[in-house]
Structures are given as structure tokens and as C-alpha cells.
């Protein structure tokens, strides 16, 4: 399972937030490719900036372990 995270403040490297769906539940994906595609849909500018610009990442796909689902 995979989940999406975004860093709201690029000056605070510890400030990562999980992305939730419209129903308020954590967005999770079975495949990493699906998670990356959805991340690009939700945050197209940040994802494209990360591809072409040097600097810190502000979006990420995180692999979840079974106990992370709770």
C-alpha cells in the first residue's frame, strides 16, 4: 500500500501531511504507479517543479506497512 504526502511549508522540512480524499479518509493505493499518477493530478505544479528544478522535494509517495493503515 502507498499513500501521498505533501510538505505545506518548504521552510519546515518536518511538516509533511497525508493527503485525504473528499470523504476525509486517507488516500491509499495498491500500486506505486497509481499513487504517483494521482499525486501528479492533485499537485501538478509541484511535481513538475521537482522534475526540472533543483531543491527540496515537496511531494512524495510513501510505502505503508500493515500497521500504518490504522
Instruction: State pLDDT tens for residues 15-34.
Output: 899 999 999 999 999 999 99
36 band by pLDDT with thresholds 50, 70 and 90: very high
Encode 6-18: b = buried (16+ Cβ within 10 Å), e = exposed. Answer: bbeeeeeeeeeee
| Selected residue with higher pLDDT from 21 and 56 | 21
Strands 2-7 and 16-18: antiparallel
Domain boundaries, the chain: 2-69
- The structure's pTM equals 0.79
Amino acid at each position: 500500500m502507498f499513500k501521498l504526502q505533501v510538505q505545506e511549508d518548504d521552510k519546515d522540512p518536518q511538516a509533511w501531511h497525508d493527503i485525504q480524499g473528499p470523504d476525509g479518509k486517507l488516500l491509499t493505493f495498491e500500486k506505486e504507479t497509481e499513487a504517483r499518477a494521482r499525486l501528479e493530478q492533485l499537485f501538478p505544479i509541484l511535481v513538475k517543479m521537482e522534475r526540472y528544478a533543483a531543491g527540496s522535494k515537496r511531494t512524495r509517495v510513501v510505502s505503508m506497512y500493515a500497521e500504518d493503515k490504522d
